[in-house]
């Protein structure tokens, strides 16, 4: 196991979900992985929401540009 993973597991062991230090309890690697996967799923959901918003803004911007072009052509 890499040193970075060991440090991450040690930090995870010291904290509970509410942020308070936990009693000395050993966290298994499976528990650590499950917690990490859940956090990643949350990040994926948030990123897909941001992606949808950015796509919406691009669509609105393209529409505004198209309207301006049409207005100039019809003058």
Six-digit token string for 69: 């072009």
Rounded Cα gap, residues 68 and 72, in angstroms: 6
Residues pairing with 21 in the sheet: 15
The pLDDT of residue 17: 59
Q: Specify the number of domains making up the chain.
A: 1
**Average pLDDT along the chain, 75 residues, taken 10 residues at a time:** 70 64 68 88 94 97 97 92
12: containing domain: 3-73
The pLDDT of residue 10: 72
Name the pTM for this structure: 0.52
Give which of 30, 43, 35 is closest to 12, Cα–Cα.
35
């Amino acid at each position: 196991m890499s040193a970075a993973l060991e440090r991450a597991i040690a930090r995870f062991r010291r904290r509970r979900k509410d942020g308070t230090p936990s009693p000395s309890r050993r966290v298994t690697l499976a528990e650590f992985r499950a917690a990490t996967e859940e956090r990643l799923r949350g990040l994926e959901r948030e990123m897909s929401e941001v992606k949808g918003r950015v796509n919406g803004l691009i669509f609105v911007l393209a529409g505004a540009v198209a309207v301006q072009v049409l207005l100039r052509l019809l003058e």
